[in-house]
A and B are shown apart, each in its own frame.
Chain A
Amino acid sequence: MTLNEVKEILEAEVIIGSDKLKMEVKIGCAADSMSDILAFAKPGALLLTGLTNPQVVYTSEISDIKAICFVRGKKPDEKVIKLAKSKNLPMLMTHLPMFESCGRLYANGLIGIGYLDIEKKNG
């Protein structure tokens, strides 16, 4: 799924990265807990979150998240936008709640990764 499709499906607004809308995201990850993102997010995932602090950007960078979509109409402040820009991290924002956002993306073919897959991967 491309970022542009994500944008359409979630009726989202592009905060930064309008030049990167062709970028592919294959996996969805919904979380408000940084440790959870670090533990479960697969490289290249789209992160859906309600948090907008600088640590969301750092966490995304550390766990190779490809793009962030803020839910529930949350918009990060300028400082965070600047930080994300410096790291080349596209950010979208949707007014939809997390539940509806996940549901719509899942229904449109974006997959997730859960504990089962992690266990399989680890052997």
Chain B
Amino acid sequence: MAEDKKYTKIQELTYELKVGNVMTKKVVTVSPKKTIYKLRNILHTKRISGTPVVDKGKLVGIISTEDFMKCLAKGETNIPVEERMTKKVETLYADEPLVHAVRKFDQYGFGRFPVIERGKGKLVGIITKGDIIKGLLKKLEIDYHKEEIHRYRASHIFEDIVADRTTLTFHYNVVGEDFNRAGESASGLKRTLFRLGIQPDSVRRAAIAAYEAEMNIVVFTEGGKLTVSVETHRIKIEASDSGPGIPDIEQAMQPGFSTAPERIRELGFGAGMGLLNIKNCADKMNLTSKVGKGTHLEAIIYLNQR
């Protein structure tokens, strides 16, 4: 990779955040002297795939559901856990950067890793992929439960980090004719893009394009969708509606052309500049429309280019 390769904020955060920041601190453990039979209850009630074996605070092994099943099959339910546990445990240190954890998950395919304190071997937590994703989003202050972001491709962040290709997709519902909320989506998008660490100029251009697209949906249709996907190298904005459509796209693109009624012009829209604004802000723009069916607009802004 070239030296000037830029990382997305998410990738940056995987270096910045430590395993200890995102791990689960409350861990269900078992002592080495417990019998395999007793383990049954733990595995059953907690529905976990692997239990750290801890002796006086120190991690001494891990016993998986698989180990347990094998013992059951052989009828070895009365022998202590320590005799059947895996002693060589892959662990993470609490002070390691998250990116190490990400790589380790990728490398071993395990569902979880015990986290220990460096030097002392003391078990301090456990980490899953879910913990990593939650930790990253929390750090970015992106509230993925928020109504406006309907589907957040959070589950993919993980694979993307490994593949060096983080894609985040945000969905916004745009309600037609709602001039109280018109502009909210683009405003939310702008905040999110900032948090993702994208350069101000690109954030601004993406926000303007999204805002104009949002306003066109509000003004000319009964509603539609705004979908924005953010990747390392580009931001893609898609606006689609099932509104009246545009009969002549070339004409619609002309500066000053507008079919907005006077009522809309009084609100400050309808100067006939919006589509041109989108074109000027985007590196690539594509507009397709079918009269009576709807309009689809796509604008791409490349990052780290201008």
Contacts and interface: CB of A to CB of B under 8 A. Distances in A.
Q: Do chains A and B touch in the complex (CB under 8 A)?
A: yes
Interface of A: 32-36, 38-39, 43, 49, 51, 53-59, 61-64, 79, 87
B179 A58 contact: no
B268 A43 contact: no
Given A35-B272, A57-B183, A62-B186, 16 more contacts: A33-B268, A34-B268, A34-B269, A34-B271, A36-B273, A38-B211, A43-B200, A49-B268, A53-B268, A55-B179, A55-B269, A58-B183, A58-B184, A59-B183, A61-B190, A87-B187
Contacts, number: 74
A3 to B, nearest CB: 22
A38 B179 CA distance: 18
A97 B276 CA distance: 30
B179 A35 contact: no
A102 B180 CA distance: 29
Contact of A63 (B204, B269, B271): B204
11 contacts: A33-B269, A34-B269, A35-B272, A38-B211, A38-B273, A53-B268, A55-B215, A58-B211, A62-B186, A63-B208, A64-B200
Interface residues of B, number: 26
Chain B's interface: helix, strand, loop or mixed, by majority?
Answer: helix
B211 A56 contact: no
A39 B273 contact: yes
B268 A56 contact: yes
Contact of B274 (A35, A53, A55): A35
